[in-house]
């Protein structure tokens, strides 16, 4: 066999970057963060705190986070180019998530949206890794693929922005530190 190679198909596109205007983005959030009232969703248990427990608001508009919006928009267009999709009009729902000691996020997806994302505002890097789960249930059906990763762990980094398909299941490991972690999450829906 001449020139064999290995192809991976049906890969999951995840966009990862440190935002370019980090100082301005951080200053904007700094000005708003103390005014945000965080609450938990009662029937979720002691998972984590949210700025909008109904997921109906757009925290970007509510707190005038224009620099963050510019970074998300810029990276959204880059991501769409990477996946060969021409963006149309879209709307965004966004919120802050706060993780104190022993808080976590259960495994979930954001089905009903097109692209989801997270921006890390405050983290020590050890206060709860983001874990993406393999959505292909057939990998575990065969003995020869059991060594393929069923999950991928991402350490949070201040200033990092991730974009990913909304159907991708993910969760956040328990914050076992005494520090509070704050991230900004969002869903994008194309019209």
Strands ordered across the beta sheet of 170-172: 105-108, 170-172, 130-133, 151-154
Q: At 20, is the pLDDT very low, low, confident or very high (cuts 50, 70, 90)?
A: very high
User: Is pLDDT above 90 for 4?
Assistant: no
Contact, 25 vs 71, CB < 8 A?
Answer: yes
pLDDT of the residue at 14: 95
- 136 vs 33, which has greater pLDDT? 33
pLDDT at 1: 59
Decide: 156 and 123 in contact? Cβ < 8 Å. yes
From residue 70, alpha-carbon distances to 22, 67, 96, 181 in Å are 11, 5, 17, 23
- Band of the pLDDT at 13, cuts 50, 70, 90? very high
Residue 8 predicted with pLDDT over 90: no
In whole angstroms, give the CA distance from residue 178 to residue 74: 34
Inter-residue contact 75 to 163 (CB < 8 Å): yes
Q: How far is CA 29 from the centre of its chain?
A: 17
Which range is least confidently modeled, 77-86, 130-139, 172-181?
A: 130-139
Does 9 have pLDDT greater than 70?
yes
**Between 133 and 148, the higher pLDDT residue:** 133
């Amino acid at each position: 066999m001449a020139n064999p190679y290995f192809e991976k198909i049906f890969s999951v596109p995840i966009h990862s970057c440190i935002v370019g205007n980090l100082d301005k983005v951080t200053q904007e959030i700094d000005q708003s963060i103390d005014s945000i009232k965080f609450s938990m969703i009662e029937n979720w248990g002691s998972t984590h705190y949210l700025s909008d427990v109904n997921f109906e608001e757009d925290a970007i508009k509510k707190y005038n986070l224009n620099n963050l919006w510019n970074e998300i928009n810029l990276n959204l267009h880059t991501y769409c180019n990477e996946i060969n999709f021409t963006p149309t009009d879209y709307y965004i729902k966004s919120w802050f998530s706060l993780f104190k000691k022993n808080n976590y996020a259960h495994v979930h997806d954001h089905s009903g949206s097109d692209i989801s994302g997270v921006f890390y505002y405050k983290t020590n890097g050890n206060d709860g890794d983001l874990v993406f789960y393999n959505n292909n249930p057939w990998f575990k059906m065969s003995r020869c693929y059991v060594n393929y990763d069923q999950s991928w762990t991402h350490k949070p980094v201040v200033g990092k922005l991730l974009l990913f398909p909304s159907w991708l299941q993910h969760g956040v490991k328990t914050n076992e530190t005494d520090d509070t972690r704050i991230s900004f999450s969002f869903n994008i829906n194309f019209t």
